[in-house]
Structure 1
Amino acid sequence: MHKMHNTAAGRVFDVINFIFLGVVGLVTVVPFLYIVAGSFATETELATRPFFIIPETITTAAYQYIFSTDSVLRSLVVSVFVTVVGTVVSMILTLTMAYPLSRRTMVGRNFVLNLILFSMLFNGGMIPTYLLVKNLGLLDSLWSLILPLAINPFNLIIVKTFFQELPKELEDASKIDGCSEFQTFWKVMLPLSKPVIATFTLFYAVFYWNDFFQALLYLTDTTKWPIQLLLQQLVMVANVGLGDMQEAMLYEPPEESIKLAVIVVATVPILIFYPFLQKHFAKGVMLGSVKG
């Protein structure tokens, strides 16, 4: 492989590959830079300049509007709580369910797997799910944003496959050392599962952070709204106060820049979270791939 890259054809390929990946990277990053720049621009500049990276006149009017009350900060706290607790609950349930299903000797394993596959194709629908949440007494509770979607069947199957591909000799060795099933899972399997844990922690965290539909269905108390639902309402009703919709604004909000500002507010926190999992995420993205 090293000799191939030292040839003329290999060097040409490397140059073309770097240029192509650089262009793809710019196509990915430049729109977000425009969103950040636009959130600090004036309405006039957004209307007259179709694209820019650095605004001519920097203004924080959009952010002043968003943070003019404590509603946004309160919603950020709610979203952080739902994201952290929901991710922990989902990972605990997914890992503890996937591991026994990866054991081929488990009684009723195929029946449970068929139920999981069935749930990937069919579900009860919005109204039955709402009635179930209501009968469980979860309406207007933050748990209604977590428990109904605590386990993703696709994620569960991928994690199950990961455990299944770990060498069986590890389990046999732990049993020889006197470990119980739980000790084998906790002390042997989980330390070897950092890539899968990092990957699906990120997937679940992004899902909980971005979700607003569950809150739209189950929450009527505006003080419990997550940031995504609040920002959606903020964009839809840009000329009304935040939160309880009763606090009067001191100025007319900049309609275009506020739409870009809410994207920044909703995106930056999850971007900060990603670097902490990047090392393991690079390995985890290969989970479930076809192996020779």
Structure 2
Amino acid sequence: MSLSANSVIAEPLHFVRGTAPLLISIPHAGTHLTPEVASGLTDAALPLSDTDWHIPQLYDFARALGASILVGQYSRFVIDLNRPADDTPLYATATTGLFPDTLFDGRPTFKAGMEPTVVQRQQYLEQIWQPYHQTIASELARMKEAFGYALLFDAHSIASQIPRLFDGKLPDLNLGTKGGASCSPGLSGVVEGVCLQQTRFSHVLNGRFKGGYITREYGQPDIHQHAVQLELAQVNYMEEIEPFAYDEEKARELQSILKPLLAGMLAWGEQQYKQ
């Protein structure tokens, strides 16, 4: 991983359009930094440990399913794509904001007095956050025009143990549907059903992670737009300490449930909206 800073904000996202009514959003895998963020990070923040490491690689199989895939390219330490533009807190418990000033473990993100300016952060909002969300909105609209409905899968990961955020060890698979409001009950039943059909990985529905801003904002089943978030415990596909190496063997085992989960979402959509 290189921490060399970009001279300008460029290529804020990577998007590949698929052929199916499924969009996979990956907002937190980016590691690009702006010059001011790169120079201001504390030693604790420099490893970018709060990154959703390797998620694009883990979900690469979804291309064969016809999914569209959207990946944010900038680190969440620049701007968090899964927070609202007005930075309204998503959780009553400990969390991080649109411009994270602390790491997940509570240590400061920036050296004192070296945070980006208000003007710089407004630039991040306009040139990084807005293009990502404009892409989500336009792609979901395109899918509904073509298929009559759209499925959004917001893909995340996190270290399996972060005492500041949750007690003990996180379940392996943390499904979020905004307490059942971001998708049809039928779709929620399908994704949880896939988890129930196996015993290797533990799971929870609408536990600590009920869905971030993306799931809450775009999950609108009343207009045939269904969203599901999945927060994975990283221990199941990578090393949780530096250099955060991808584990091919573990990843293949985890993909054995991720593949039927996404396939199940697509099958539900085809059945629900068949003409």
TM over 0.5: no
| TM-score where L is the length of structure 2 | 0.23
Q: Considering Cα pairs closer than 8 Å and 6+ residues apart, tell me whether 1 or 2 has the greater RCO.
A: 1
| TM-score where L is the length of structure 1 | 0.22
- Greater share of residues in helix: 1
